[in-house]
Amino acid sequence: MLLRNEMILNAQINNFKALKNISVSDIGRVNLFVGNNSSGKSTLLEALYLASSSNPVRAVIDINNFRGISQLDKYPWDTFFTSFNTKNEPQIKSEFTEKTVTTQIEPFLPDYRHIETDPEESFNSDYFSSSISGLTLNISEFDRDKNRDGRKSSQTIKFDHKEGNDLVKFGIHGREPDFLRFTSSLFITGKANLISKMPHFITNLKINKQLDAVIEILKNFSPSVNNLEIGSDSIYVDIGESKLYPIGVMGDGFVRFLAISLAIISSGRKVILIDEIDTGLHYSAQFFLWEAILKLAENNNVQIMAVTHSIDCISSFAKAGKKSSEKTKMYRLEKEDDKNFIIDYNVDEIQSAIEKEYEMR
């Protein structure tokens, strides 16, 4: 059973990709991360995704997929280590409401005795000699309420040779950390629209008689929306015309708006992380997006982490946050002399900085 109040409160991240040493403190219900290109915003979001996932192995694979990296690529795991140096073992220490969870990533070195290839396929020996062949995830918990160490788990993702088969196999070994079931997360990339998951989300809403709440939110974006229907080949939108419209013709912004709303209400995840949240959205719709997110996050007990480059998105975030009773924070990532650091802002400080024309993106 998920604990109702489990949110990430603080996080310390060391040697995770380009983030050598960075801490995020006093994290709110709804949070926005900003900063220059290559400042580490998306990487920070990935670290928080791993920290809040109930299935860390799946999260690691997802993180590679977000970057277009397959487990079968030449160097699928090296990127998790700062400067590709596997001696720099990544560690993420995340403080939740009642627990502290530490995730340590170690390199898994090749074992040539167990690696074989299909004799009909060409094989480059540099594939394994130049790179680690997997990762080991060591997860441990500390129960702050009882002031004692909790359970531990270790899982390894690696290439594995299956007996009687001449092909290199990809495998996961070790005990799943079932003690992480108190948390769960969903990562929405800048390019993702979640259309494939929408029928499931919408069905859940209809069963629980919650679809009307989503329709009301969509009316802020497109006032003519009356209903959503699931067809055999698409999601359809009723906008009062003689026929229903396939969702794809409603535009990227509409699909993005709907995907985020459905994820918060119907995905069942406790932490939703959204990269490039303003993708496809006109600036005039961004206030309604943040207003909806703040209400939905509170009503569904969900924590939001998002990234943007847009000053309009930042301004809308501050205006919506000013009207909300929920804790709303913005974090600007900076990088100087190869060091990462964070400046945090509350909504009043954001508005003041914008009025003074400080660089906030």
| pLDDT surpassing 80 at residue 99 | yes
Q: 3-state class of 9 per DSSP?
A: strand
d(CA 135, CA 157): 5
Residue 329 is inside which H or E element, if any?
A: strand 328-336
Q: Is 64 helix (H, G, I), strand (E, B) or coil?
A: helix
pLDDT given at position 51? 93
DSSP 180-246: GGG--EEEE-TT---GGGHHHHHHHHHHTT-HHHHHHHHHHH-TT--EEEE-SSSEEEE-SSSSPEE
Q: Quick check: 149 and 140 in contact, CB under 8 A?
A: yes
Which pLDDT belongs to residue 361?
66
Nearest to 25, CA basis, from 351, 318, 343, 335: 343
Greatest mean pLDDT among 115-119, 286-290, 335-339 lies in 286-290
The answer to whether 264 and 292 are in contact (CB under 8 A) is no
**Residue 170 has what pLDDT?**
60
Can you tell me the mean pLDDT for 186-197? Answer: 78
Q: Are 245 and 236 in contact (CB under 8 A)?
A: yes
Q: Is the pLDDT of residue 119 over 70?
A: no
Average pLDDT, the chain: 83
Segment 343-348 mean pLDDT: 91
Q: How far apart are CA 335 and CA 285, in angstroms?
A: 31
pLDDT digits (tens, 9 = 90+) for 38-93: 889 999 999 999 999 988 988 998 999 888 887 666 667 889 999 888 899 999 99
Residue 323 is which amino acid? K
* Range scoring the smallest mean pLDDT among 171-175, 218-222, 243-247, 281-285: 171-175
Q: Among positive and negative, which fits the CA dihedral 49, 10, 292, 311?
A: negative
Question: Quick one: pLDDT at residue 4?
Answer: 40
**pTM attached to this predicted model:** 0.86
Evaluate if residue 131 carries a pLDDT over 70: no
Domains delineated in the chain: 54-182 (no CATH), 187-324 (3.40.50.300)
For residue 292, give the H/E element and its range: helix 286-299
